[in-house]
């Protein structure tokens, strides 16, 4: 089976590419390298012992996508390409609507033109409304509170309409909770340049001496220790969810990819201390605007429909992140 992967040079995409190659799929990657790295693909290919086809291409370039699809003839598309910073989306919403919404529309147009009818889309738990009560089932009320989340929601609506109009189409929406982790070899993981927004990359930055202390946002949430609680999922479990989605029937499907279990910020810091054997200094500061207290998935639907379940726990996620930092201290640089 041939799979086209957009955004395959990024954090999650490169791990998906590795896994697909490893399972024997032929893979073609389309990426504009705005945040991804060509060397991540080289590493994925080396780890799997199989080649990957790469096209430096923006998903908004519909005609270029069509010619790539006509030549590669994929049976399915995994669509990871997009921008993902909530803060940046608030500052520059137009970038997010253009990259994430316009980019996805362009991809769907190319797929329809080339009669490729299976699309697996990276959505996010940020589409759930702030007033819902966790754990969130897929039918919980939606209502994202920032442009990033709204861009994901719009693509979900687009996919819903495409599936209604084209009964041969399979549109699979995967709502990720908080992906963390790396390949156990230490060769593939998340490499954030500059100051990361997400908790685990920031904690890693402190361990690497790039930042002095972690700021724990909030001490008065209604949680066990007052800090925010999230459903962290190992990126390799997430990737297995995409592989399982390749076998779903036609029509629209929506799945949460999470573990169903939440951890507080202090529990994550504690886990990173225990795998690294180092003390991680932190300050408790005010809440970060826009954060919810608790975000946890109800992952039952994915279990029932795809026999998929997250297998790895928080310690394994932290161990793999720490190992990636040790093995690749400069990320994908120097190659």
Smallest CA-to-CA distance from 214 within 223, 222, 204 is with 204
Quote the Cα angle for 15-180-19, to 5°: 20
124 near ligand NAD (CB under 6 A): yes
| Residue 31 binds: one of ligand UDP, ligand NAD, none (C-beta under 5 to 8 A by kind) | ligand NAD
276 is in the binding site of which of ligand UDP, ligand NAD, none (Cβ under 5 to 8 A by kind)? none
Least Å distance, CB 84 to ligand UDP, is 9
Interface residue with ligand NAD, options 3, 5, 13, 201 (CB under 6 A): 13
Q: What is the DSSP string of 199-222?
A: HHHHHHHHHTTSSS-EEEE-S-SS
Nearer to ligand NAD, 69 or 81 (CB): 81
Catalytic residue among 148, 221, 232, 332: 148
Q: Which residues contact 205 (CB under 8 A, 6 or more apart)?
A: 192, 195, 196, 211
Residue 287 CB, nearest distance to ligand UDP (Å)? 7
Stretch that binds ligand NAD, among 25-33, 47-55, 220-228, 245-253 (CB under 6 A): 25-33
Name the token pair of 240: 């297995």
- Residue 151 binds to ligand NAD (criterion: CB under 6 A): no
> Residue 124: enclosing H or E segment and its boundaries?
strand 118-124
Nearer to ligand NAD, 72 or 80 (CB): 80
Residue 197 site contact among ligand NAD, ligand UDP, none (CB < 5 to 8 Å, cut-off depends on kind): ligand UDP
Please give the residue ranges that form the binding site for ligand UDP (CB under 6 A). 178, 197-199, 202, 214-217, 228, 230, 265, 288, 291, 295
Residue 148 annotated in active site: yes
Contact criterion met (CB below 8 Å) for 180 and 319:
no
The CA distances from residue 287 to 66, 131, 138, 219, in Å, are 46, 17, 27, 8
Closest CA to 227 of 192, 188, 262: 262
Q: How far is CA 5 from each of CA 48, 58, 128, 198, 238, rounded to the nearest angstrom?
A: 16, 12, 26, 24, 15
By a kind-dependent CB cut-off of 5 to 8 A, residue 36 interacts, out of ligand NAD, ligand UDP, none, with ligand NAD
Strand partners, 323: none
The contact pattern for ligand NAD, residues 65-104, with x = CB under 6 A and - = no contact, is ---------------xxxxx--------------x---x-
- Residues at the contact surface with ligand NAD, assessed by CB under 6 A: 6-7, 9-13, 31-36, 58-60, 80-84, 99, 103, 122, 124, 176, 179
Residues marked as catalytic: 148
């Amino acid at each position: 089976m041939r799979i086209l992967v957009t955004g395959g040079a990024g954090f999650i995409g490169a791990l998906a590419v590795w896994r697909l190659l490893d399972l024997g799929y032929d893979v073609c990657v389309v990426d504009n390298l705005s945040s991804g790295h060509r060397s991540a693909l080289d590493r994925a290919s080396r780890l799997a012992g199989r080649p990957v086809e790469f096209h430096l291409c923006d998903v908004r370039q519909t005609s270029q996508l069509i010619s790539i699809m006509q030549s590669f003839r994929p049976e399915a598309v995994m669509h990871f390409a997009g921008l993902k910073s909530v803060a940046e989306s608030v500052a520059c919403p137009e970038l997010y609507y253009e990259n994430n919404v316009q980019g996805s529309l362009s991809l769907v147009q190319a797929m329809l033109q080339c009669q490729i009818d299976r699309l697996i889309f990276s959505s996010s738990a940020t589409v759930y409304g702030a007033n819902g009560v966790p754990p969130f089932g897929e039918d919980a009320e939606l209502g994202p509170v920032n442009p990033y989340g709204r861009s994901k929601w719009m693509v979900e609506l687009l996919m819903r309409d495409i599936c209604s109009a084209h009964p041969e189409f399979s549109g699979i929406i995967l709502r990720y909770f908080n992906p963390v982790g790396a390949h156990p070899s230490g060769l593939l993981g998340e490499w954030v340049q500059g100051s990361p927004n997400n908790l685990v990359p920031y904690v890693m930055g402190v361990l690497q001496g790039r930042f002095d202390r972690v700021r724990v946002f909030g001490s008065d949430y209604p949680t066990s220790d007052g800090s925010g609680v999230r459903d962290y999922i190992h990126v390799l479990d997430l990737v297995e969810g995409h592989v399982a989605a390749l076998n779903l029937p036609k029509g629209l499907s929506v799945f949460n990819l999470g573990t169903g279990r939440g951890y507080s910020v202090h529990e994550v810091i504690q886990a990173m201390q225990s795998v690294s054997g180092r003390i991680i200094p932190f300050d408790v500061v005010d809440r970060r605007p826009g954060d919810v207290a608790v975000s946890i998935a109800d992952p039952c639907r994915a279990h029932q429909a795809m026999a998929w379940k997250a297998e790895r726990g928080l310690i394994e996620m932290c161990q793999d992140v720490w190992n990636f930092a040790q093995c690749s201290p400069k990320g994908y640089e120097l190659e």
